[in-house]
């Protein structure tokens, strides 16, 4: 496994590997079993002759001024072990100053899908994600890229980015990996106290409850939110809902007659952690 931490080396690696299928897993490090699953999926897609590239880069541009950029866990040595054990061929771990020159003056803005759900309470977050993914796609020159469905809005926005800016990259979305009690794996689970952790499994439970209510005909978003809020208050009083919304899985807008797939997405604060999860209504 090659570990590359500057753009010059990355370009040489690209020249040597030209013509080989390249499957890319962009991450911010602090890798866990959910990322391992993404890397294994990438390995499968790349086949024995392709290359699996993982980037480890905590992107400052996607954190708001009051968010956890400095606190975000950085676990490079463990991350490299997990990448190797799951079949990565190359790790790209650049420094922030390599990715963002101090006098940079060009950035991307997403003007539709990022206005709801997480984007509503994290202004600028998805502009930062779109900018870094554009730069990483240009640098890595991948054929495919793999993302986790836990970040459902992120996947929808990256698909839109690929379509709108004509990237020749196939996007693969992989199912969320969960703890035995249903909590979606996340690097931010580390912020939970034991008490918060014990209650955080309620996020999955309320999404299942919302799905069942939807299947039984409940279509009123306000009624669903009320049901969920009440359930959470009773079962996980440390949780504070940011949003719970049934939306169109592609447009992320309210469900309409043209919706083919509905997803219920939720964000819940537990102490210092803001956790997200979702459920598709198939």
> Under the rule (CB under 6 A), what is the footprint of ligand PAF?
26-28, 59, 62, 129, 132-133, 151, 154
Instruction: Please state the closest distance from residue 72 (CB atom) to ligand PAF, in A.
Output: 10
Q: Quick one: which of 88, 85, 2 has its CA closest to 45?
A: 88
Min CB(40)–ligand PAF separation in Å: 17
Q: Which is nearer to ligand PAF, 224 or 276 (CB)?
A: 276
Helix (H, G, I), strand (E, B) or coil at 103: coil
Smallest separation (angstroms) from ligand PAF to the CB of 162:
13
Tokens of 115: 């206005």
Q: Which is nearer to ligand PAF, 148 or 227 (CB)?
A: 148
**Backbone φ and ψ of 25, nearest 5°:** -120, 100
CB of 234 to ligand PAF, least distance (A): 32
Q: Which is nearer to ligand PAF, 51 or 59 (CB)?
A: 59
Count of Cβ atoms closer than 10 Å to residue 131 Cβ: 22
- Output the DSSP codes for 17-45: TTTS-EEEEEE-S---HHHHHHHHHHHHH
Contact present, 203 and 272 (Cβ < 8 Å): no
Q: Report the residue number, 27 or 245, with the smaller CB distance to ligand PAF.
A: 27
Is residue 269 among the annotated active site residues?
no
Sheet of 273-281: strand order equals 239-248, 262-270, 273-281
Nearest-CA neighbor of 205 among 236, 248, 174? Answer: 236
Pair 23, 143: CB distance under 8 Å: yes
d(CA 11, CA 169): 18
Nearer to ligand PAF, 62 or 86 (CB): 62
Q: Which of 32, 35, 231, 269 is catalytic?
A: 35
Q: How far is the CB of 238 from ligand PAF (least distance, A)?
A: 25
The Cα–Cα gap between 240 and 230 comes to 11
| Residue in the block written with tokens 């509503």 | 120
Catalytic residues: 35
């Amino acid at each position: 496994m090659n570990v590359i931490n500057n753009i010059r080396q990355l370009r040489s690696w690209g020249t040597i590997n030209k013509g080989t299928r390249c499957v890319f897993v962009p991450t911010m490090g602090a890798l866990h079993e959910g990322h391992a699953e993404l890397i294994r999926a990438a390995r499968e897609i790349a086949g024995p002759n392709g290359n699996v590239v993982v980037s480890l880069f905590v992107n400052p541009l996607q954190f708001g001024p009051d968010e956890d950029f400095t606190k975000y866990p950085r676990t490079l040595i463990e991350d490299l072990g997990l990448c190797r054990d799951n079949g990565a061929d190359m790790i790209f771990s650049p420094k922030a100053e390599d990715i963002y020159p101090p006098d940079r003056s060009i950035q991307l803005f997403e003007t539709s899908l990022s206005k709801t759900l997480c984007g509503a309470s994290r202004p600028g977050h998805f502009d930062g994600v779109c900018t870094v993914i554009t730069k990483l796609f240009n640098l890595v020159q991948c054929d495919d890229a793999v993302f986790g469905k836990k970040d459902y809005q992120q996947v929808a926005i990256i698909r839109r980015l690929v379509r709108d800016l004509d990237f020749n990259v196939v996007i693969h979305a992989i199912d969320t990996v969960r703890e035995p009690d249903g909590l979606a794996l996340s690097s931010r689970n580390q912020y939970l106290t034991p008490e918060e952790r014990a209650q955080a499994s309620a996020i999955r439970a309320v999404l299942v409850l919302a799905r069942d209510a939807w299947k039984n005909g409940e279509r009123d978003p306000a009624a669903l939110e009320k049901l969920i809020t009440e359930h959470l208050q009773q079962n996980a009083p440390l949780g504070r809902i940011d949003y719970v919304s049934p939306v169109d899985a592609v447009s992320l807008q309210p469900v309409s007659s043209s919706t083919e797939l509905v997803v219920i997405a939720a964000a819940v604060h537990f102490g210092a952690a803001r956790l997200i999860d979702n459920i598709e209504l198939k």
